Structure 1
Amino acid sequence: MTEVDLLAKLREAIKGPHAAIHRMNISRISLCVPPQTLRPTLYTLGLSRYAEIFYGLEEEWVAFIGDPTDWIGEESVDRIPDSSLDSSQRMKSLLRILYVPELLRTRSLQADLSFLQSVDPSSTELIREQNPGLEIRRYIHDHVGQSPHLLVAWIWILYSAVLYGGRELRSQLLKAGPEFWDLSATELMAHRTPCPLSFWHIDGDGAVKAKFRTLMVDVDRLLTPQEQQDILNESLQIFQKLELLTLSLDEEAKQASL
């Protein structure tokens, strides 16, 4: 494989599933805002389910690579294949390469959900009920945690969704207006998207996109052909799980009469 093959093959493999899930989510976002609803409860419900996936991914990622404050910026993070590395060391190096602090979503998700619950206290009990997103979070811990190279598929797909599809979704949410989000017009129009929509904001997203693509090329060099194939297979599994999660949200919304 050449250094660009993995990224090219990933894009080709997920092109259809990605387009399908994006259409699903776009159509449902319109149901979360006026005139379909006067409260952000449905949006809060959906965000709380997807949040668990990011929590699970980032927990496993950091658990494997170690506290970034202990190593980030070190010259020892090698981006050139080294045959002397054992499998665990190679994988740790690989997953450290992909670590871009601006991409991490856990803190913004926690802040957004806290804000949303303060605005709409009725959503608190709803999102604490059985959360289908937890099943995916457990899968990441139990399955992906045992095969850490699969984290590459999760990292690429989840953060690409925010980087590439997030702008359209954020635009649709912003159209709900400041009062819907309990913000002033100034806050909503700020350069940095505030809570409760900060999940969709990535500082310097254009530069981050370019960096992310470059790092995926670096990662390709450190993967074996079998690991690359595993990542392609996992990418399709991810979209199946995301589709099922979105469909389960439809059922939850009906049962809660949202």
Structure 2
Amino acid sequence: MIEEDLLLKLRTAIKEPHAAIHRLNLSRIALCVPPQVDKPTLYALGISRYAEIFYGLEEEWVKFIGDPADWIDQDSDDRSPSCLQDRTERVRALLRQLYMPELLRSRSLWADLAFLESIDPANTGFLHGHNAGMDVRKYLHQLVAKTPHLLVAWIWILYSAILYGGREIRAHLLKAGPQFWDLSAAEIKAKRTPCPLSFWHIEDDAVVKTKFRSLITSVDCLLTREEHQEILDESLQIFQKLEQLTLSLDEEAKVFPQ
């Protein structure tokens, strides 16, 4: 094991691709709200594709670390990765160490998409057809089977995107107004962002950010030098996949009913 600042390396490696994908997605968000459109069908299309990635990540993460109810209350010393010699068990332990229930997005995404479908049920078939997001989900299944430590890159990038860029996107979406989202004025001004935008809301996000950074740092020295590099390499691959997914939405949007 080595003691190096993986978090700093990750931030440096992804700084430019993160900024690029954020700009790319913001430009697409602008096309999903008034005055470009008068209903949230394009937003539903986009979020349904990205939802597949979060479903895949969280499904594979929990499948690999086991049901948190079985281990989350154990003493931390009993599940410390540093005392484990077997590589699989070491990686399982460090991925348990990163587990934060408050970050998980699947439940919010299910609720948001159900709400969006209720607004316009005619779009249900389009939202659930085979798509590029499902391909990434399949990739995550294969990734964990072979190199589960690479989930560290996916965990950091996907949840950082919400914690560090989500507030800006959420504010942009809320400007579309309550009628656009089929909400009341009181609902859209509520402290907790309601469906269909609950995906973008993380309670006490400043506290969660601090804890998340701390946990990423805590597993830093529990990875080998080779694993460090593989995580950095994977982080760049992630942004390529996210860019491909966003660009694929341009083609889907051409035939998506609006």
TM-score, shorter chain, exceeding 0.5 = yes
Contact 1:58/1:104 (<8 A) preserved: yes
Contact 1:60/1:145 (<8 A) preserved: no
Contact 1:60/1:141 (<8 A) preserved: yes
Q: Greater CA deviation, 3-12 or 229-238?
A: 3-12
Match in the other structure for 2:153: 153
SS at match of 1:160: helix
| Distance in 1, Cα, partners of 2:4 & 2:102 | 24
Question: Which portions of structure 1, spanning 4 or more consecutive aligned residues, are displaced by more than 4 angstroms?
Answer: 1-4, 77-81
Q: CA deviation at 1:221?
A: 1.6
Deviations 1:193-217 (A, max 9, x none): 0100000001110000000000011
Q: CA deviation at 1:80?
A: 5.8
Match in the other structure for 2:190: 190
User: Alignment identity in percent?
Assistant: 67
| Distance in 1, Cα, partners of 2:124 & 2:191 | 29
Match in the other structure for 1:61: 61
| Distance in 1, Cα, partners of 2:77 & 2:185 | 44
SS at match of 1:31: helix
Distance of aligned partners of 1:63 and 1:77 in 2 relative to their CA distance in 1, 3 Å threshold: farther
Q: Greater CA deviation, 208-217 or 1-10?
A: 1-10
Contact 2:81/2:91 (<8 A) preserved: no
Match in the other structure for 2:173: 173
Contact 1:3/1:217 (<8 A) preserved: no
Contact 1:116/1:196 (<8 A) preserved: yes
Contact 2:178/2:185 (<8 A) preserved: yes
Q: Greater CA deviation, 207-216 or 69-78?
A: 69-78
Match in the other structure for 2:109: 109
Q: Greater CA deviation, 71-80 or 156-165?
A: 71-80
Q: Which amino acid aligns with 1:168?
A: E
Match in the other structure for 1:123: 123
Q: Greater CA deviation, 117-126 or 151-160?
A: 117-126
TM-score, structure 1 normalization: 0.96
Match in the other structure for 1:33: 33
Match in the other structure for 2:212: 212
Distance of aligned partners of 1:11 and 1:197 in 2 relative to their CA distance in 1, 3 Å threshold: same
Distance of aligned partners of 1:186 and 1:90 in 2 relative to their CA distance in 1, 3 Å threshold: same
Q: Does 1:75 align with 2:40?
A: no
Contact 1:94/1:222 (<8 A) preserved: yes
Equivalenced residues, count: 258
Deviations 1:38-87 (A, max 9, x none): 11000000000000000000011000111011111321456865254311
Q: CA deviation at 1:233?
A: 0.3
Match in the other structure for 1:227: 227
Match in the other structure for 1:135: 135
Q: CA deviation at 1:128?
A: 2.0
Contact 1:112/1:195 (<8 A) preserved: yes
Q: Which runs of 5+ in 2 are unaligned?
A: none
| Distance in 1, Cα, partners of 2:222 & 2:31 | 43
CA RMSD of aligned residues (A): 1.5
Distance of aligned partners of 1:195 and 1:230 in 2 relative to their CA distance in 1, 3 Å threshold: same
Contact 1:80/1:218 (<8 A) preserved: no
Q: Which runs of 5+ in 1 are unaligned?
A: none
| Distance in 2, Cα, partners of 1:78 & 1:203 | 29
Match in the other structure for 1:254: 254
Match in the other structure for 1:18: 18
Q: CA deviation at 1:144?
A: 3.3
TM-score, structure 2 normalization: 0.96
Contact 2:52/2:137 (<8 A) preserved: yes
| Distance in 2, Cα, partners of 1:113 & 1:72 | 29
Distance of aligned partners of 1:189 and 1:77 in 2 relative to their CA distance in 1, 3 Å threshold: farther
| Distance in 1, Cα, partners of 2:159 & 2:235 | 13
Deviations 1:118-155 (A, max 9, x none): 01112212112221100000000012332100000000
